[in-house]
Homo-oligomer: A and B are copies of this chain.
Amino acid sequence: MTAAPAASTDVFFDFLCPYAWRGIELAAVLRAQGHTFRLRHFSLVQGNHADNTAAGGPVWWLTDQPLGEGSPYQQNSLAAFLAAHAAAQQGEELHWAFTLALYRAVHEHKKTLDEAAIAEAAQTAGLDLEAFTAARTDEAGLRASLRAELAEAAEIGVFGTPTFVLPDGSAAYYRFENLTRDPDTALVWWNLYGEVLRSGAGIATIKRAKNRPAQKA
């Protein structure tokens, strides 16, 4: 493992989240244009857990839960995160390919986020399947690297996905309804987000009124 370049943007996501899917697709398009993004996991099940409402950091950690316990969301997201950490051992490009393949399986092709989807994503991404299977058996090691990311997210105060952490340290949840794989469009949407974060207004929040939702294209 090497440290992230100084100019990289971290993107926190959960495979459960369709907004994070669109955020990851956006980041993937921008990567192809030379931008640097680092994939980081944030657990919505952990973030929304009733035991974690108090200030002062999480008490209930997804990484402390056995596989196969809890709600389907909990089980599936934990398995997917651990699989992604196994995929990451095959390098950054294959990590991205696996992440995109699993996201598309679930949010584009509407499959369940289960073992079959993970296996198919591994194949679609072109992982070395033998090495992937072997890496997945080191559950303790995968849990440890996932835990480090969840702790980092908690320290930043991530509360939803996708959340992008810019090289200058600013960080915000960026929720949008539409998907783009067009390079020019992706750049416009990304630059607008950056403008909001860098504005001299010191913008904390822009959020639609409850009964006036954003329009799907």
Contacts and interface: CB of A to CB of B under 8 A. Distances in A.
Contact of A204 (B155, B157, B176): B176
A209 interface: yes
B175 A212 contact: no
Interface string A42-66: 0000000000000000000000000
A58 to B, nearest CB: 12
Interface stretch (A1-9, A69-77, A189-197): A189-197
Nearest to A178: B202
B171 A212 contact: yes
A173 B203 CA distance: 11
Contacts of A185: 200
Nearest to A196: B206
A173 B216 contact: no
Nearest to A180: B201
Contacts of A215: 202
Nearest to A154: B211
A106 interface: no
A163 interface: yes
A156 B205 contact: no
A207 interface: yes
Contact of A171 (B156, B204, B209): B209
Contacts of A211: 155-157
A66 to B, nearest CB: 29
Interface in A96-129: none
Interface of A: 19, 155-160, 163, 165, 169-178, 180, 185, 188-189, 192-193, 195-197, 199-217
